[in-house]
Chains A and B, each alone.
Chain A
Amino acid sequence: MEIERHEYDVVVIGAGGAGLRAAIEARQQGKRTAIVCKSLFGKAHTVMAEGGAAAAMGNVNSDDNWMVHFRDTMRGGKFLNNWRMAELHAKEAPDRVWELEAWGALFDRTKDGKISQRNFGGHQYPRLAHVGDRTGLEMIRTLQQRVVALQQEDEKLHGDPEAYIRVFQECTVTRLLKTGDGPGDPISGAFGYWRENGRFILFDAPAVVLATGGIGKSYVVTSNSWEYTGDGHALALLAGAKLINMEFIQFHPTGMVWPPSVRGILVTESVRGDGGVLRNSEGRRFMFDYIPDVFKDQYATTEEEGDRWYNDQANNRRPPELLPRDEVARAINSEVKAGRGSPQGGVYLDVSTRLPAAEITRRLPSMHHQFKELADVDITKEPMQVGPTCHYIMGGVEVDADSAAASVPGLFAAGEVSGGMHGSNRLGGNSLSDLLVFGRRAGAGASAYVDGLKARPVVSEESVATARAEAMAPLERDGENPYEVHHELQRTMNELVGIIRKAEEITQALEAVEKLKERAKGVGAIGGRIYNPGWHLALDLRNMLLVSECVARAALKREESRGGHTRDDFPGMSPEWRRKLLVCGASADGSSVTVEEKVQPGMRDDLIKLFDRAELKKYITDEELAAFDALVKE
């Protein structure tokens, strides 16, 4: 069958917040841009984001500024973050949020008419721009409508709305194309198929921006949608790029636990930001028992102080329900293990005794709706039952902070698929702002790269033939049902490389993944090429398996506990390990994963000086501390 061919300057894979912002930037810089997405336009996983976008605008508390946001982000990530990314993010997030408003977004307001900001875990001041608890939807719709506005402009100017920006929806990319096989050979395009009719499509393009989100579908209990199969992570690996921090996975502390069919679906952190508390089966607010040493000066030690904080933040410390997500998730896990869980295996999250019913439905409308419709629970009258759910991967493509460029020339990555920004644990609210800040930078980086090229890299026809054969294979085999292999992978990762890990279990997981890789080679898809989900899943398996192997190999190697990586056999945080990044690459034939250690560059002088010595001492080595002392003395 003939392959449909298109020529573009920049191809963006993924149409969530990062992908759309990247595409808008590339188009605004005059580049012919394609957006390729697996779902319909406007359905990306970003719509699930509830709480808000963190940006130090200082609308609610004027003491907030980029330096405070930067500090909070580094603390949340346990100082493993790429500090340059954290700096750019904190500095640029306000402009990115204001820009959305100029494109039609309607955020909730303060009394003086500015964008309202709400409290969230790990953020020192109210910082999240929000719309009730559906901020992600507002962001996607605004960016989607901005793309449409640009198309309307192009129609006026060129008579064709798709002259400079076109959305290829329900289209899956299975391979990145390059001029050759070497890691230094540049990108020349991308190959994929239309889900609607199964026809193959080839994009001839010198720059590709990956914005494919995360990997949650490798786990059983997840807040992620079906699309989160680690496509961008795998595409990057197979093209010769590197992934970092893959051992760090965020288990959101509050997912629904009942009924079983909705297990894992997110319960927004705003419930806690707006006053909700966690209790065990004995009615105890157990988070007071789990404040770690590194945070003990910043959190209330009594319920009275915690409660006062909601109205008087200057004179009280925040309640420990608002610790970073990794801490809260581990605490819930411990309570349930100790036999103090709720009947359905979670803990209680209660807002009904904390706010008037009308206030709950105003501030948390979609949570109210979600529990009522799916669990028959009225959150204005009774507590919710919640437990940890696989939510976000901190790890991803290793990129240059300023341009979002990966090591392969012509390849860029932004949003969840990129790594570094959030270190070992992401703060709530830092994702939506990350998408905007680095989506824009990736679009700009790709545009600048295209401008600097002397000639367009050529697509190698051999690689097209290989990609085509790979995509056809499951249809030509009479093999195992891909759903079976997928379910087994999900169970393996959930049970053996989950929230609490140990060497034997991770080793078992790696053995299981090896066997699943063999089985995946034999899966078959019955039916034809028209909208065939069995075939699509068979192709996605390659990505999920490759990414799961990265997670497990890196998790086995990092012998400490930090953020989204908790080792039962190495419970402490190690200053030596803080300086190390684990870098995953694919073996030459793409069939397995290698992991190498790399030294994390030290923080720039002016940035490290933003922290107190007493705080740094908890994270950094004696040698680094001596260097800090010398710096401060100067």
Chain B
Amino acid sequence: MANLRDIRRRIKSVKNTAQITKAMQMVAAAKMRKAQQAALAGHPYSQVLDRVLVSLRDHVSEGAHPLLESRPVKKSLVLLVTTDKGLCGALNTNILREAATLDHESTVFVASGKKGASFLARTGRNMIADFALPDSPTFLQTKAISKFCLEKFLSGEVDSVSVLYPKFVNTLTQKPLLVPMLPISSEAAQGKGEHVEGGAQYLFEPDADGVLDAVLPYYFHFSVFQMILDARASEQSARMVAMKSATDNAKGLVKDLTLEYNKARQAAITTELLEITTAQMALA
């Protein structure tokens, strides 16, 4: 039978832990809502961007734009989006398992998030850059990352660019997803919307190709921004779920320990009573 004082000490420490995990759960829940709202706030932008792409469809000349040109892939670049902090369940493990399956030789990595960066360093992968981002990144901050990738692609150092990030499916599920971004597929470059018959015939200034030149990088920057926001929402929801189960476990543990504590206390009292009675009987 465990010592009474030891059990009491353990109960106290487990309760403390539960308090911390509970607090983390609440914080993660609030941050998750914020991250989801941030992702939704980009909706008007994506609509206008799409409208621009759709209206450009008929006006651009056939010659392939450098961002649309697909080359035989000798080197590919993967932007690995992970979290900076742990305690978010299997989120990073799943992403990194996916990253480990990528070809060692022909893949170069750009990391965003400390967990990914330290994984790449540990396994000796070819990491060419590591970007740090705050909890709620702004477009200009993520643009620095996407611009870096874009330039590697345009200079011919890499022949394809993809993003590996935890896609937010719902609060309970996050799926690691490898999304090819560059070269931009021609379907994506044409926009998702239906072409409006007899719609506005735009005048382009300086010309349609010039506008396309400027729009396509934005399409890429914006997609990367959205994916990073999505990864943030995933991180927070994974953390919330992990912390909730940790809190539940701690509560279960406290319950078991309290039971054990009471049993031990009962046993101690019984022993004491027995001793007193025995002593009395001996005196009588």
Partners in one complex: no
Residues in chain A within 8 A of chain B (CB atoms)? none
Q: CB within 8 Å of A: which residues of B?
A: none
